[in-house]
Amino acid sequence: MRFYSTKSPERFVDLRTAVLQSLPADGGLYMPESIPQLPASFFEHLPEMSFKEMAMVLCTPYLESDFSSDEIRDIIDTAVSFPAPLVAVDERISSLELWHGPTLAFKDFGARFMAAIMGRLVKEEPRELHILVATSGDTGGAVASGFLGIDKVKVTILYPAGKVSPLQEKQLTTLGQNIQALKVEGTFDDCQGMVKTAFLDKELNERFMLASANSINISRLIPQMFYYANAYAQAEQKEKLVVAVPSGNFGNMTAGLMAKHMGLPIHRFIAATNVNDIVPEYLNSGIFNPRPSVPTISNAMDVGDPSNFQRMLDLYSGEHARMIEDVQGFAYTDEQTKECIQEVHGRTGYVMDPHGAVAYLALQDSLGEGEHGILLETAHPAKFLPVMKPLIQDFPIPERLAELDEEPAFFHDTPAEFEALKSFMFEQY
């Protein structure tokens, strides 16, 4: 499989370049040359297949030019090492729990798969690989955990001071080894901007081999298709399935749409956001108007300029009318989200995190006759204790997170300027 930049569809690179370079020099994003359509019989047999077996079939077309099937199997064994159960919330809505991995968020899927691929590719490179990653919450922890201890890879994480939850911060700052955390005096968009500038900076790129681990890296999107297939396999009602994706940078959503383009019979998708509703607004009006992000209780979705939107457009050849046949957009306030968490818990006993609750609200407002809804529960609710505790009495904390709270944190206070990142890199390495 070859890959092209969304800004120059006529120029192709191989998987190694797309993954290690992350971001094409023209400011576009890499996309696979084609999204192969799998036979209907594959999807009919999903219920009899294991999670790893379906993952193998879904990712082979994208990897087989660079990896043998034994290598692909090893990569999947590392990345798909925990389940993603579909749990009924009420009669019409089920929750796909994507938080059973090491950092309790769905980003473990993408990060572990990407780390497995990069760890293999970098062995044949003359230099070490430096991963730069901006995080609004869970990316940093998942990336840090995925790359921890991998040879020839150094990770630098940028996160906005005071805008990630205390437990998320602990997951970024307690690992040590090849992982460094920069606590940036700014917003997530500032962090993302600093990383984007780094990839365009001549001096940094001459000195270091840089790669991104954000959802802009195509290797993170590929494994995120797996759990959509696994959700379909587990669903009792397979007709008219509607999947609501709580979205920020829209990597998760893009992966779902790629799975649909490969033939996965999902009826339609919902892009669910907090008040950072740039994509729902586009879907409803045709106008894409990125703007500074606003802080909310579902902070992993506080994104004002969603990077994967370019890929969504690319999948639909830029045609709004075609995109809205597959995806509709809904947005909710923090007040609505909190009420929803309490209401659903009171009625069903099920506890959703603030991100999953936004998706639940969208399903509630959107499900039509005969449709069944699946919300993606993208993180364990305990990752958002300050929000959850006042809402749910006697809220239990998983042991893993309680232990983390005791660990000492290491980070570098950093102004929200690209130059600060640059001098950190030159001083540190």
- Asked if residue 352 binds ligand PLP (CB under 6 A), the reply is no
Q: Is 123 exposed, middle or buried (0-12, 13-18, 19+ CB in 10 A)?
A: exposed
Q: Give the one residue of 137, 146, 160, 329 binding ligand PLP; rule: CB under 6 A.
A: 137
User: Which x/- pattern over 241-270 shows residues binding ligand PLP (rule: CB under 6 A)?
Assistant: -----xxxxxxxx-----------------
- Give, in degrees to the nearest 5, the angle at Cα 231 between 340 and 143: 80
Q: Which is nearer to ligand PLP, 122 or 300 (CB)?
A: 300
From the number of C-beta atoms within 10 Å of its C-beta (0-12, 13-18, 19+), residue 398 rates as: middle
Instruction: Provide the phi-psi class of 107: left if phi over 0, else alpha when psi is between -120 and 50, else beta.
Output: alpha
Indicate the Cα dihedral angle 22, 24, 30, 32, nearest 10°.
-110
**Which of residues 355, 363, 364, 387 is near ligand PLP by CB under 6 A?**
355
143 binds ligand PLP (CB under 6 A): no
**Per CB under 6 A, does 280 bind ligand PLP?**
no
**Region of 26-34, 131-139, 196-204, 321-329 interacting with ligand PLP (CB under 6 A):** 131-139
Tell me: does residue 378 bind ligand PLP (CB under 6 A). yes
Out of 76, 301, 340, 362, name the contact with ligand PLP by CB under 6 A: 301
- Does position 215 interact with ligand PLP (CB under 6 A)? The reply is yes
Which C-beta is closer to ligand PLP: that of 252 or that of 296?
252
Pick the closer one to ligand PLP by CB: 204 or 379: 379
Looking at the DSSP bridge assignments, the partners of residue 180 are 156
The least distance separating ligand PLP from the CB of residue 252, rounded to whole angstroms, comes to: 4
Query: From the CB of 255, what's the least distance to ligand PLP, in Å?
Result: 8
Burial, 417: exposed, middle or buried (Cβ in 10 Å; 0-12, 13-18, 19+)?
middle
Closer by beta carbon to ligand PLP, 139 or else 310: 139
Helix-then-strand count for the chain, H and E? 20, 14
Task: Name residue, tokens 């998760």.
Answer: 252
Q: Is 107 in the site for ligand PLP (CB under 6 A)?
A: yes
Residue of 248, 254, 372, 376 lying closest to 304 (CA atoms): 248
293/364 with CB nearer ligand PLP: 293
Query: By CB under 6 A, is residue 351 in contact with ligand PLP?
Result: no
How near is the Cβ of 58 to ligand PLP at its closest, in Å?
A: 18
The DSSP result for 380-419, as a single string, is -GGGGHHHHHHHSTT----HHHHHHTTSPP--EEEESSHH
* Residue nearer to ligand PLP on the CB measure, 184 or 279: 279
User: What DSSP string runs through 53-106?
Assistant: HHHHHHHHHHHTTTS-HHHHHHHHHHHS-S---EEE-SSSEEEEE---STTSBT
Listing DSSP states for 132-162 in one string gives EEE-SSHHHHHHHHHHTT-TTEEEEEEEETT
Of the two residues 72 and 308, which places its CB atom closer to ligand PLP in the complex?
Answer: 308
Nearer to ligand PLP, 156 or 165 (CB): 165
Q: With CB under 6 A as the contact rule, which of the stretches 30-38, 73-81, 135-143, 399-407 interacts with ligand PLP?
A: 135-143
User: By CB under 6 A, how many residues form the interface with ligand PLP?
Assistant: 19
- The residues that touch ligand PLP, with contacts defined as CB under 6 A, are 105, 107, 137-139, 215, 246-253, 300-301, 355, 378-379
